[in-house]
């Protein structure tokens, strides 16, 4: 197998975790390269549901090396809980199966508090973050005040770094955000030093490991978190996350050269969802939106929030395919569309009566952009047991062909239910 990047083409929760799990048997390693525990990647196997936030979604396959790369922000408590949960379920039997980059940045409780208090302060303009401290941790990284995993696992370095950073954080929290209870340097140190001692055994030079794997021509999967619509530069700024969710993020976040990547697999739902605030031109506030919400069980895997639902946005997806160099697509949740009389897909945007040639840059334009639709016939058949493309209802086949024609890359994998087994590859 070749080295493949898995990227969400929409606003996250496309089913990336399931796709990574499906492709893992052909891979030697799965690598997370950005984001943190804002991600929630769901795997359902024989009715047993498991949501992963930091550990790569290949972990259920014993032989697969799982790498949390340099560009990830790591909440050590969440990671330890996840490791313990996996171990007690009989996974991650060998410590060597999981490697955490010593360059990854650590999320501290002050990041979480800053994230939450900023959201409160923004009031009706809140972004609707996951409240996990992701943005504030990346802010510290960019401003070169971050504490990295390599510092966390070294007691002296941790003490020194906290002594430099914490007084400033307490002052900022109190003066800018009105926080009344400062963090005690000693308490944070004691608690995080314990986490550091636990994680020390997993902490490694992951870039060195990747250099070796690439040199040996091993097969790698790079597991994206979030989606292109949430990319810091290319998404619906400021309603985005704080990392590069496009395939370029692999180069910076895992530290591999572009020529090490062979394929980019874009994952998209057969409709669209978004959690948190931000523009969503195809959003539905009617019975069809309710159908998607209920049938698709659209609640956030990380925060449990209700996901906003709407029609698939092919105009956006075509742009996301360009941004990521996507070579093929996986379409998930096709089963959820069964039972709708007609299905719509956005094939363009209009702004102030004019057709746009690309999605807008400015948030004011995003908020005014109106989707232009093409309408397709629906189907009523249940798809969950279907195992080949030619067995799909004809209307469903036409819909999928229209998706790949518009977006310009083939669909190679189709998912028709949450279970691992509910999927098939496209016949040649
Ligand atoms: P990720 O963040 O991209 O990994 O996606 P999430 O796990 O947050 O959200 C996807 C949700 O859809 C999860 O609850 C999955 O179990 C579920 N899911 C994945 N594929 C399918 C599918 O083909 N059909 C249905 N009905 N559910 C799916
Ligand atoms: P996965 O990997 C869906 C959204 C939040 C919010 C915005 C910023 O499971 O697809 P943040 O906490 O990152 O600062 O929040 O990004 N968001 C996601 N939405 N899926 C995700 O991850 C998300 N991670 C962040 O809801 O709108
Ligand atoms: Mg998710």
- Tens of pLDDT, residue by residue over 137-192, are 999 999 999 999 999 999 999 999 999 999 999 999 999 999 999 999 999 999 99
What separation in Å is there between the alpha carbon of 299 and the centre of ligand 3? 9
Q: Which atom of ligand 1 is the closest one to the Cα of 49?
A: 16
Give, using CA atoms, the residue closest to atom 2 of ligand 1.
Answer: 13
What separation in Å is there between the alpha carbon of 341 and the centre of ligand 2? 31
Sequence-separated (6 or more) residues with CB below 8 Å from residue 163 = 185
Domain 270-425 class, CATH top level? alpha beta
Helix (H, G, I), strand (E, B) or coil at 368: helix
Run of H or E residues at 268? strand 263-269
Tokens standing for 310? 């709407």
Domains of the chain, by residue range, sit at 4-101+203-264, 105-199, 270-425
Nearest of 107, 91, 102, 108 to residue 68 by alpha carbon: 102
Q: Is 14 in the pocket of ligand 1 (CB under 6 A)?
A: yes
Give, using CA atoms, the residue closest to atom 27 of ligand 1.
Answer: 418
Helix (H, G, I), strand (E, B) or coil at 97: helix
What separation in Å is there between the alpha carbon of 131 and the centre of ligand 2? 10
What pLDDT, on a 0 to 100 scale, did the predictor assign at position 126? 95
What pLDDT, on a 0 to 100 scale, did the predictor assign at position 301? 76
What pLDDT, on a 0 to 100 scale, did the predictor assign at position 115? 98
Give, using CA atoms, the residue closest to atom 27 of ligand 2.
Answer: 276
Nearest of 259, 264, 281 to residue 272 by alpha carbon: 281
The domain defined by 105-199 folds into Adenylosuccinate Synthetase, subunit A; domain 2 (1.10.300)
What pLDDT, on a 0 to 100 scale, did the predictor assign at position 300? 82
What pLDDT, on a 0 to 100 scale, did the predictor assign at position 362? 97
Q: Is 42 in the pocket of ligand 1 (CB under 6 A)?
A: yes
Which ligand has the shortest distance to the CA of 225?
2
Nearest of 383, 413, 379, 382 to residue 394 by alpha carbon: 379
What separation in Å is there between the alpha carbon of 160 and the centre of ligand 3? 36
Q: Which atom of ligand 2 is the closest one to the Cα of 115?
A: 14
Give, using CA atoms, the residue closest to atom 11 of ligand 1.
Answer: 15
Q: Is 16 in the pocket of ligand 1 (CB under 6 A)?
A: yes
Give, using CA atoms, the residue closest to atom 15 of ligand 2.
Answer: 129
**Is the dihedral angle over the CA atoms 48, 51, 52, 57 positive or is it negative?**
positive
Nearest of 72, 130, 129, 127 to residue 103 by alpha carbon: 72
Q: Are 48 and 419 in contact (CB under 8 A)?
A: no
**What separation in angstroms does the CA of 207 have from each of 31, 53, 75, 148, 204?**
11, 21, 20, 15, 9
What separation in Å is there between the alpha carbon of 282 and the centre of ligand 2? 19
What pLDDT, on a 0 to 100 scale, did the predictor assign at position 361? 97
Calculate the CA 420 to chain-centre distance.
Answer: 19
> Taking CB atoms and a 6 Å cutoff, what residues make up the pocket around ligand 2?
8, 12-13, 38-41, 127-130, 132, 134-135, 225-227, 230, 241-242, 275-276, 301
Domain 4-101+203-264 class, CATH top level? alpha beta
**Is the dihedral angle over the CA atoms 351, 355, 357, 359 positive or is it negative?**
positive
What separation in Å is there between the alpha carbon of 118 and the centre of ligand 1? 30
What pLDDT, on a 0 to 100 scale, did the predictor assign at position 325? 97
Give, using CA atoms, the residue closest to atom 5 of ligand 2.
Answer: 129
Residue 217 zone, left/alpha/beta (φ > 0; ψ -120 to 50; rest): left
173 C-beta neighbours (distance < 10 Å), count: 19
Catalytic site positions: 13, 41
**Is the dihedral angle over the CA atoms 294, 298, 304, 308 positive or is it negative?**
negative
**What separation in angstroms does the CA of 85 have from each of 78, 91, 304, 312?**
10, 9, 19, 35
pLDDT along the chain (428 residues), means of 10: 93 98 97 98 97 98 97 98 97 97 98 97 94 98 97 98 97 96 97 98 97 97 98 98 98 97 98 96 97 94 88 98 97 98 98 97 97 98 95 98 98 98 88
Q: Which of 5, 11, 18, 307 to mutate to test ligand 1, by most ligand atoms within 8 A of the CB atom?
A: 18
What separation in Å is there between the alpha carbon of 42 and the centre of ligand 3? 7
Q: Is 338 in the pocket of ligand 1 (CB under 6 A)?
A: no
């Amino acid at each position: 197998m070749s080295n493949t990047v898995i990227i969400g083409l929409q606003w996250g929760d496309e089913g990336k975790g399931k796709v990574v799990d499906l492709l893992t048997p052909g891979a030697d390693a799965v690598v997370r390269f950005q984001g943190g525990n804002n991600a929630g990647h769901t795997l359902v196997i024989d009715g047993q549901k498991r949501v992963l936030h930091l550990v790569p979604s290949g972990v259920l396959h014993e032989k697969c090396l799982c790498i949390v790369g340099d560009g990830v922000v790591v909440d050590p408590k969440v990671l330890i809980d996840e490791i313990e949960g996996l171990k007690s379920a009989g996974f991650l039997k060998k410590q060597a199966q999981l490697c955490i980059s010593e360059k990854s940045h650590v999320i501290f409780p002050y990041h979480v508090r800053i994230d939450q208090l900023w959201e409160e302060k923004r009031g009706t303009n809140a972004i609707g973050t996951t409240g996990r401290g992701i943005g504030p941790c990346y802010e510290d990284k960019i401003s070169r005040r971050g504490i990295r995993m390599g510092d966390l696992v070294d007691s002296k370095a941790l003490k020194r770094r906290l002594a430099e950073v914490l007084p400033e954080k307490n002052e900022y929290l109190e003066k800018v955000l009105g926080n009344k209870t400062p963090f005690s340097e000693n308490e944070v140190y004691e608690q995080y030093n314990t986490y550091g001692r636990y994680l020390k055994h997993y902490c490694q030079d992951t870039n060195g490991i990747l250099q070796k794997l690439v040199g040996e021509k091993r097969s790698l999967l790079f597991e994206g978190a979030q989606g292109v619509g949430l990319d810091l530069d290319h998404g619906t700024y400021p309603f985005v996350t704080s990392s590069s969710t496009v395939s370029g993020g692999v180069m910076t976040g895992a530290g591999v050269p572009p020529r090490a990547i062979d394929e980019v697999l874009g994952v998209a739902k057969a409709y669209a969802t978004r959690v948190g605030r931000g523009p969503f031109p195809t959003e539905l506030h009617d019975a069809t939106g309710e159908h998607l919400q209920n049938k698709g069980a659209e609640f956030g895997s990380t925060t449990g929030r209700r996901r906003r639902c709407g029609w698939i946005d092919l105009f956006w997806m075509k742009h996301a395919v360009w941004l990521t160099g996507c070579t093929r697509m996986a379409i998930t949740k096709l089963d959820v569309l069964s039972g709708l009389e007609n299905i719509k897909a956005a094939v363009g945007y209009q702004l102030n009566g004019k057709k746009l040639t690309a999605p807008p840059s400015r948030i004011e334009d995003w908020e005014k952009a109106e989707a232009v639709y093409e309408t397709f016939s629906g189907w009523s058949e249940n798809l969950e047991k279907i195992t080949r493309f030619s067995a799909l209802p004809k209307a469903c086949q036409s819909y999928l062909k229209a998706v790949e024609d518009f977006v310009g890359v083939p669909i190679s994998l189709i998912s028709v239910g949450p279970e691992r087994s509910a999927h098939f590859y496209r016949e040649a």
